[in-house]
Amino acid sequence: MGKESEDFKRLREAFGRFGDLSSDKNESGSIKYEISFSHEFDKLLVELANKKGINKAEVIRRAVASYAVMQRELASGPEEAGWKISITNEKDEVLRDVELP
């Protein structure tokens, strides 16, 4: 596999172990989750949230939405090893390729 970005490596390492996962529906009808993350994972969430000026829940929402898009794209194509995501600029020039695990 290609070289992973430092952020991706940190995320993979920080993801570590989960504790219990539970959920409850609140008065507005949305579902509230309680998830236990490692200290390192929480540090990474805080760092990502601060970079974008959003809260940790929004970081997780965006990550799940991005993951769902990737999974749909992967499901619609031929099954191959070596899928990559390309990071591009506004001129569609590839700045970096990230290989998916």
pLDDT per residue over 26-74, tens digit each?
A: 777 778 888 888 899 999 999 999 999 999 999 998 988 888 888 887 7
Inform me whether the pLDDT recorded for 6 exceeds 70. no
Distance CA 63, CA 28 (A): 23
